[in-house]
Amino acid sequence: MLSIIWIAYRISFRFAARFRSSTVSVCALYDCVPHTRWQTADVDLSLTRHLKLAVGCFRAFGPSNPHGYHVMSQIIIEDLIKQFRVSERDAGMWGAIRGIVKRRYHTINALDGVSFSIEPGELVGYIGPNGAGKSTTVKVMSGILVPDAGRCEILGRVPWRNRTEHVGRIGVVFGQRTQLWWDLPVIESFDLLRDIYRIPRNEYARNRDEFIAVLNIEACLDVPVRQLSLGQRMRCDLAAALLHSPDILFLDEPTIGMDAVSKLAFREFIKQFNQKRGTTVILTTHDMDDIEVICDRVMIINDGKIVSDGTLDELRRRVTLERRLVVELVDNVSEHTIHPLANLASRDGKRIHIQFDPHQISAADLIAHVTSQNQVQDLFVENPPIEETIARIYEDQAT
């Protein structure tokens, strides 16, 4: 049985190889096995190569991949470089006039060799100080900006070369600027987007009804966008960006200016949507709570370079191993009752913050020690605030 399959496989493979320039299947195979040299492939293939090919075929045409042969990372960014020329102008009227005749420019390296890749379904936080290159990267990925050099492939396309095809598969939400029609009731913006994105009627109705229910925007639908509150508008904007079921969602500072309740609802929605639909989410923000709640992975960019890329835990570990034990005591504590391997970070009446390194003393031992020495009302272990972690990374880069 096996040998029959093997022979059939070989024959089909040889057949395909002969027409490799014209058949889709071989192009597909080629994509699956990036390191196979096709010049030598049909002369001699080792068993492992055949296995790789077979696995590639399975991954390519198997049920888990709705897009056919595309099994590369969803987003591939390599050595992206983007410089901006900024004209300098002297102050005052005279400077403005002189600027017309002779302009001086200085260049800014907005992106200085940025590389990363993102797999389908990832929730990625993309952070960095102002002017670090976050927005530039997002603009390149959404096809608004062409880089000076480097590779950018998203869903197998180069965004700026196939702009309309590319943007039809992504959704973008800018926190600062609405995507909806200012003077129109929200529902009419939705209807217009259906026609712009050519969304099939039933898919549109399903998505629209789902988002209206989950994002609780029923009451906003007949209100012109200009009359909505910021929180309402953002929820409507989010729904609008997802109506066409994009594969990738870019959120550029989405929670800016939102109240606490809206923020919580927003984060919850993003997480659930990602779990349910497997949509990749890339989020830029200055709100570390957004990152902490939503993202599995954090990339930090500073001065146009990626300075850190990994899970939130890895990020913390990279910077510091420190943990904190917060203890609320019944009585006041004397300091010598704290374990010698830990130290007091701060105290606030009966609440004390104890700093410790989990490699030197485990949380359990420390808790046992503290509770044996004092009467404890409440206690919990916490990670240092993520802001401190990030700030430390920025500082490390600066020095």
Partner 1 sequence: MLDSLFIYRRFLAVSLRAQMQYKASFLMQLGGRLIITAGEFMAILVLFDRFDSLIGWNVYQVAFIYGVVNISFAVADAMTTGFDLFGDMVKTGDFDRILIRPRSTALQLAGQELTLRRISRLTPGLVALTWAAMNLDLNWTFANASLLMVSVAGGASLFAGLIVLQATLAFWTTETLEMMNTLTYGGVETTQYPINIYRPWFRNFFTFGIPLATVSYFPALAIMGTPDPLGTPLWFQYTAPAIGIAFLIGSLQVWRIGVRHYLSTGS
Question: Nearest approach, Cβ of 295 to partner 1 (angstroms)?
Answer: 22
- Contacting partner 1 (CB under 8 A), which of 184, 230, 307, 361? 184
> Number of residues in contact with partner 1, rule: CB under 8 A?
32
Q: Considering only residues 190 through 219, tell me which ones interact with partner 1, judged by CB under 8 A.
A: 192, 195-198
Contacts 24+ apart (CB under 8 A), 346-355: 350/377, 351/326, 351/327, 352/326, 352/327, 353/324, 353/325, 353/326, 354/324, 354/325, 354/326, 354/327, 355/322, 355/323, 355/324
Confirm or reject binding of residue 145 to partner 1 (CB under 8 A).
yes
Interface with partner 1, residue 84, by CB under 8 A = yes
Residues 376, 324: Cα–Cα separation, whole Å: 16
Rounded to a whole number of angstroms, the minimum distance from the CB of residue 195 to partner 1 is 5
- Is 170 a residue that touches partner 1 (CB under 8 A)? yes
Strand ranges across the sheet with 104-118: 104-118, 75-88, 149-154
For partner 1, give the closer residue by CB, 56 or 304.
Answer: 304
Question: Closest distance between partner 1 and the C-beta of residue 183, in Å?
Answer: 4
Which of 29/241 has CB closer to partner 1? 241
**Which class for 121: exposed (0-12), middle (13-18), buried (19 or more C-beta within 10 A)?**
middle
Q: State the binding string over 222-261 for partner 1 (x if CB under 8 A, else -).
A: --x-------------------------------------
The C-alpha angle with vertex 382 and arms to 379 and 383, in degrees rounded to 5, equals 165
Q: Are strands 104-118 and 123-127 parallel, antiparallel or unpaired?
A: unpaired
Return d(Cα 51, Cα 58) in angstroms, integer: 10
Which has the closest alpha carbon to 232: 266, 278, 273, 195?
Answer: 266
Q: CA-to-CA distance for 327 and 374, rounded, in angstroms? A: 10
Neighbours of 311 (CB within 10 A): 12
Residue 112 interacts with partner 1 (CB under 8 A): yes or no: no
- Judged by CB under 8 A, the residue of 39, 164, 202, 399 near partner 1 is 164
By the rule CB under 8 A, 167 interacts with partner 1: yes
188 binds partner 1 (CB under 8 A): yes
Token output for 384: 């240092």
Report how far residue 186's alpha carbon sits from residue 233's, in angstroms, rounded to the nearest whole number. Answer: 9
97 binding partner 1? (CB under 8 A): no
Helices (H), the chain: 2-18, 24-32, 38-41, 47-61, 92-101, 134-141, 163-167, 186-196, 201-214, 230-242, 260-277, 288-294, 312-319, 363-373, 386-398
For partner 1, give the closer residue by CB, 86 or 205. 86
Q: Which of 56, 125, 143, 231 binds partner 1 (CB under 8 A)?
A: 143
Report the residue from 52, 163, 324, 369 that binds partner 1 according to the rule CB under 8 A. 163
Provide, rounded to whole angstroms, the least separation between the CB of residue 289 and partner 1.
27
Nearest to 178 by CA among 241, 124, 85, 131: 241
Per CB under 8 A, which region of 9-17, 36-44, 145-153, 294-302 contacts partner 1? 145-153
Q: Does 177 bind partner 1 (CB under 8 A)?
A: yes
- Kindly tell me which of 48 and 164 has the beta carbon lying closer to partner 1: 164
The least CB distance from residue 210 to partner 1, in Å, is: 22
Interface residue list for partner 1 (CB under 8 A) = 84-85, 136, 139, 142-146, 148, 160, 163-165, 167-168, 170, 172, 174, 177, 179, 181-184, 188, 192, 195-198, 224
